Amino acid sequence: MSGLAADRSRDQASRDRGKAPTKERFIGLEWLRFVLGLYIVIFHTLHNYPSISGWSHYITDIGFFSTSSFFVLSGFLLAHVYLDHHQSLREPARSFWIKRFANLYPIHIGALLLAMLVSTVVGKLAITPEDAAASIRFVIYDVNNDLGQTDPEALRHYMSDTELGVNLALNATLLHAWNPLYLTFNPPSWSISALMFFYLVFPWAAPRLFRVRHVGRALALTNLLYLLPPLLVIALTDFGLPETGILHRNPLIRLPEFIAGILLCVLYSRWRRTGYRPGRGLCLAMALWVVVSVVGALWLLGQGHAWYYLLHNGLLLPAQLMLILLMTRVPSPADPRLRRLARRLGGASLPMFALHVPLYVIFTRVERVHAGEPSRCVTDLRGCLDAAGDSSLWLYPVFLLATVVFCMMFQERFVLPLRTRLGRRLEARLMPATRLG
């Protein structure tokens, strides 16, 4: 029996029992979540190896594709899971917010504390001159300095006590993506802050988007609205402050990606109800579009700074939508162990986004100490650190594997138990009717 026929059979059985149709499971999207998480790790770390700098940028230049695809995928999956067969939210908005917050916050706080601890320790036990400057107060202003309009030293900034307190408060409340000037403490975690904003919007937006009659037009309009801010920045600014930071991570500016994901789920749901599935020819055409888009983006990035902003904010959105549609066609494997592995790896994707920077710092510093004279660390710690060797590209796969394993364990042993406890406590306080029921 084909996957679609099996879904129809389950849906009919559910209707016969008076229940809502069973939600389709997308193993392909679990694999995609994992690959997106792994790619963002590579994007932020591979450039540190000078021996491959001549070509590694071809791999890492479009790292932003991963974050944008993740935002689109989040909108698609949330709409698929949380809207019932009447296209209404299947639970109260407050319950949805509690669950989403309880899922994000342990990841964010765990990664934030680890990043701050690592930064402090690295600053005190410096191996390189860069380590000596490490501090939770140190930030770099977010501008496109490739244009050369600013002295690089002018971009280095140490936060005052007031700035430190404000940014700690922003991080504690998941509002730090709204700071357009610089990234603090654990830079990649801005994506978690943006996701929290998207979750706040979802209960209002998703049911309304499912009532849109012409989904293709709505997607085109969403893409056009997403392209307007970079077009304005290109026309009116010199890619400085605060416009670079706003385009990079402002949740309102990035919202069209999440909205596009919801609209893609609308389109998919309507196809599914009518029994339509993209044929092999259309799937090949979409796959070709994705490949050409990525190759074209790599070329366009070398044709001027304006292309970076257009590609970062909108030009690649059609390719991201097609990629997600293609991955919904990946069949579920018969082996339950593979299905479980896919779910575990997919579940580790968000911790990979949040944790990879401090994990990389830990791994490379341990690696360098081990390549030097590690036996001296017991009797002469400073001498041991001064004798540290270099990082090896050959151990980079070990770092990637260790990161994946650690993030799976972090999700399963730390996030999931804490999410359950935090969710129950918040529901008890904020939804007393649910508790009594």
Q: What is the four-CA torsion angle of 372, 377, 383, 384, rounded to 10 degrees?
A: 20
| Tens digits of residue pLDDT in 349-369 | 999 999 999 999 999 999 999
Task: Return d(Cα 132, Cα 263) in angstroms, integer.
Answer: 48
Mean pLDDT for the stretch of residues 406-417: 96
| Tens digits of residue pLDDT in 213-253 | 999 999 999 999 999 999 999 999 888 889 999 999 999 99
Q: Given this model, what pLDDT does residue 126 score?
A: 83
User: What's 51's DSSP letter?
Assistant: G
Encoding tokens for residue 188?
Answer: 């990649």
Q: Domain boundaries in the chain? A: 28-436
Closest CA relative to residue 192, chosen from 40, 359, 309:
40
| Tens digits of residue pLDDT in 56-110 | 888 888 999 999 999 999 999 999 999 887 778 889 999 999 999 999 999 999 9
Placement of tokens 């389709």 in the chain: 24
